[in-house]
Every structure is written in C-alpha cells, then in structure tokens.
Amino acid sequence: MATPASAATAQRAGFGRLKDGTVVDAVTLSNARGTSARIIAYGATLQSLKSRDRAGKVADVVLGHDDLAGYVDTPNYFGVTVGRYANRIAGGTFRLDGHTYQLTRNDKTNSLHGGTRGFDRQLWRIVSVRSGPSASVTLALTSPDGDQGYPGKLDVTVTYALDDNGALTIDFDAKTDKPTVVNLTNHAIFDLGGEGSANGILGHRLMMPASRYTPVDVRLIPTGERKPVAGTVFDFTRGRTISNGIRDGRDPQIVAGRGYDHNFVIDAGLTAQPKLAGRLSDPVSGRVLEVWSTEPGLQVYTGNFLDGTLVGKSGHLYRMGDGIALEPQKFPDTPNQPAFPSARVDPGKPYHHRMIYRLTTAR
C-alpha cells in the first residue's frame, strides 16, 4: 500500500486563455520517482511527460509547445486526444445502416483525426482531479449529433492516471444515442532522449508483436491487405532501429508514407485487458517506453510532415525523425473496410479503450 510519502499527487493550475478570454487549466500528475504528466483541458492534451534517464536526469520526452497559443495557432496533434475517429477515413465518407455520412475533410480528400474541428481543437471540461496511490484527472466532452458529419450525440470522457511505478494509464469511454463509429487514442510524439535532442529518434529501437501491417495507397489509405512484415523494413518483431528503414526509398511503402506512417496489426488482436503493443528504447538515455492497449492496431508515425518550420518547446525546430508516435487504435478507414475489426458503437453498448504508457530505464 502506498504511503503518503510515495503517493502520487495531482495539482491544478491555469495554462493560458483562449482568444475569447476563456481560461484553460492544466493538471500535473507527479509521483515520487520523478515522473510527471501535465494534461491541459484544450484537446485533453498530454502536454508534458517527464521521466528520469539512467543517470537520474529528468527530461520531457514528448514534443509539443510551451504555451497554449502553440496548440491553438499551429495545431499538429502533439499529445492530443484524437476523435471521433483517429486516423484517416477515405474520401471523408462512410456508410452505416444504409445511410451515407459526409464528414469534414482536412487531409486533401480524406477526413483525418475527426475532421476540421476534431476533439483536439475543443475545450474539454475537467470533472475530477484526485491524488492518491494513483493520481488522476478526468476530462469530459459532449459531441452533438452531426458534429463533423458523424451521427449520434456522443458523450466522451478521458481519464489520465499516473501511478508510483511510472505507468500513465489513459482510459477513453464514450456512449452514443444512435449507431455511430468511434476510434479514440492519444497522439503523443516521443523522443526518449528528451524532446529536441540532437539525434531525435533515429537511434531508438522499436519492438512490436506484429507479424503483419496494413499497406497504404498514395492517399495513405489502407489497401485492405494485411501484409506479412517478414523480410521487409516493417519487421519489428525482434526489434529494429528506426534509422534502419525510415529512409529506405527502395520500399514503395516507405516512399508513400515519407517514412513510417503505417498501422501494424497486433498479433493478439482486440483484447479485454491491455497487452503489449510496442516497446521503444533509447540506448543513449536508457529510457524505455512500453505501450499497452486493448485495441487491435498500432499506428507508427515518425513525424514525416515535420519540416523544420514549426517551433516547439524551448524554441526547438522540429524535423522529420525528431519524434515518433505510437498510437493504439482501430485500423485506419475501418468504416469503409468490412474485413477490418469493427469501429461501430451502438446505444447501450459503450465504447472503451484502455492504453498505458509505461516508462522505465535500462542499465
């Protein structure tokens, strides 16, 4: 049992104001081992995640902005809660129960991460802040029927909870009043060497228990195939250094994604309890990040659209390869791909996704 000296704490404070003067609060969760997570109400965003390296030095390991204006004025999905549907829906349309729904399109012809005003661009309500053996904050959002073209009124909560062992658990829950599709995840972009480090994530090593992935077309929409990774630069089953593949122009899939921007099929599939989806390690700092999830897929994105024009934390210019997102979720374009695990949510059958970021160090 945790003692008061080892219990995690939650502290609420202001983080800035929107242009209309609305105050946006942040909640910082901290444990006795030097791990802390700051969550801001705008976008239900993981704004900061700090942990110690093998030498005991604390650094922030997620890319982002130091102030609210960065998230509002130059949105780039850093650490946000994405929804209603994470990833891409082809043409911004899908059919459900004989009806065709047209979504807002913000990725050329596709709808990406919920559309032009997804959950990442909305102010969530902070409904609970708790300290204890596991410090937590719960945020809530109501998405009305027709929001961004999606059917059904959706009531959503996201709970971040940090324990004293360095595990940050994120629970996504949603309920609807009519059939709809839902796919929620967190879009943190990591650099375990500390955001803005000189070498980025090219020297990081990634392992995933995924023997197949879903190739994409030129629109970055899955073709429907579940292709074996064996013998390709997509084989992370035994661990692979990110640099060993991220710029391999001989692979047409790397060319299409401008690097890794692909969904991996986790061998265990959809599960009731979280299972390991990916393990990222940095041999320089010794930091290790494990991603656990109940969902069947893990999107790997190596910051391919970061081109050095965006200024992030501490004045750092972010470039391709400066961070990596590991996003557990349903497969991209699932509403248009009947062979993929369903993203349908019905009244009386709520949606739930639990994911965990576990931070440790290796000697």
Mark whether 195 is an active-site residue: no
Cα dist from 176 to 28, 40, 341, whole Å: 30, 25, 19
Q: What is the rounded CA–CA span in Å between residue 301 and residue 321?
A: 9
Q: Which of 65, 113, 187, 262 is catalytic?
A: 187
Mark whether 187 is an active-site residue: yes
Q: What is the rounded CA–CA span in Å between residue 350 and residue 30?
A: 30
DSSP percent split of the chain into helix, strand, coil, nearest 5: 5, 45, 50
Q: What is the rounded CA–CA span in Å between residue 356 and residue 335?
A: 25
Q: Which of 113, 295, 327, 353 is catalytic?
A: 327
Q: What is the rounded CA–CA span in Å between residue 269 and residue 60?
A: 31
Characterise 32 by phi-psi region: left (phi > 0), alpha (psi -120 to 50), beta (else): alpha
String of DSSP letters for 165-183: TSEEEEEEEEEESS-EE-B
Q: Which residues are catalytic?
A: 187, 327
